[in-house]
Structure 1
Amino acid sequence: MPHMPSAKFEQPVLSLFRIVIGLLFACHGAVTLFGVLGGPHGQAPTAGQWPGWWAAVIQLTAGALVLIGLGTRPAALLCSGSMAYAYFVHHQGDGLFPLENGGEGAVLFCWAFLLIAALGPGQWSLTALLNRLACRRKEVSTHLSNA
């Protein structure tokens, strides 16, 4: 059997994957809403316009939440669903396969966010940090009350 990489790399790699995917997705939202980071890509949608403005808001806010690792699972699920919608509504009509219809990005983001939603944020996340701090506070509180 070939040598398998150590499990000690799983959580850091998951965290890095989440950070990169969240950053890229948030950048798409920033480009669409504010014309920054290499934008503008056409006319910015007006506030509340369906689906462009809402998609950009999801990309920016949920992508940022995934990036920092706060509310990661629901945010990633929302991102995944928005990319499934984008694929089936905006790309599928132009051809059966993503390479035909220009939907590779939507498919990749959809599945990447579904993976993040299933596996969670990893050890390098704001949620993990807050959990560690809460455990330490509880330990200190328990220690002080027993003293």
Structure 2
Amino acid sequence: MHLLTAAPTTAAKPTVLTNVVLALFRVLVGVSFAFHGCSTLFGKPVAPHGALPAVGAWPSWWAGMIELVAGAAVALGLGTRIAALLCSGAMAYAFLTVHLKHGILPIKNGGEPAVLFCWSFFLIAIIGPGPYSLDALIGRYRRGSAD
């Protein structure tokens, strides 16, 4: 039986380890992104690349808000798929409008963080938050089971 042509008979059920790793990945990516937002908007924990943006300034203030709010939502696992998709789109926009004009390769144009965040958030949007998230907790509460 060839690996590329074999059709799986049943879907593999995620293990506890898989769920823990997904939760850690989601939290670390979300918190890292939220820190970018804090830096952009408030200059904390580190100063941004330039001056702090004025409230409502396009695109830096809006990018900072997406990074802070949606990054925190992903870390908490709250509205995860939508928040992660918004984060992914924001990083795709950043790569296309800021980095691509300096070359196509992310290692050359300084876009490696944008690419990694973009695809990490896209993965989270597709896979979902996993069972260790507020989304899952809310879902269990709505179904009436407290397990």
TM over 0.5: same fold? Answer: yes
Q: Does 1:108 align with 2:139?
A: no
Moved more, 93-102 or 34-43: 34-43
Corresponding residue to 2:107 among 99, 106, 111: 99
Contact 1:86/1:106, CA 8 A, preserved across alignment: yes
Q: Does 1:7 align with 2:32?
A: no
Corresponding residue to 1:34 among 22, 42, 47: 42
Q: What whole-Å deviation, never above 9, does each CA across 1:8-40 have from its counterpart, x for those lacking one?
A: 311111111000000000000001101111224
Higher helix share: 1
Q: In angstroms, what is the RMSD of aligned CA positions? A: 1.6
Contact 1:35/1:41, CA 8 A, preserved across alignment: no
Quote the offset at 1:137 in angstroms: 6.0
Q: Name the larger-Rg structure.
A: 1
Identity of aligned residues (%): 53
2:58 maps to which residue?
A: 50
CA distance in 2, matches of 1:41, 1:87: 16
Contact 1:65/1:75, CA 8 A, preserved across alignment: yes
1:132 maps to which residue?
A: 140
Q: Does 1:60 align with 2:41?
A: no
- Aligned residue pairs total 133
Q: Which runs of 5+ in 1 are unaligned?
A: 1-5, 139-147
Corresponding residue to 1:69 among 74, 77, 89: 77
Q: What whole-Å deviation, never above 9, does each CA across 1:57-96 have from its counterpart, x for those lacking one?
A: 0000100110100100010000000000000100000012
Q: Please report the TM-score for the alignment, with normalisation by the length of structure 2.
A: 0.85
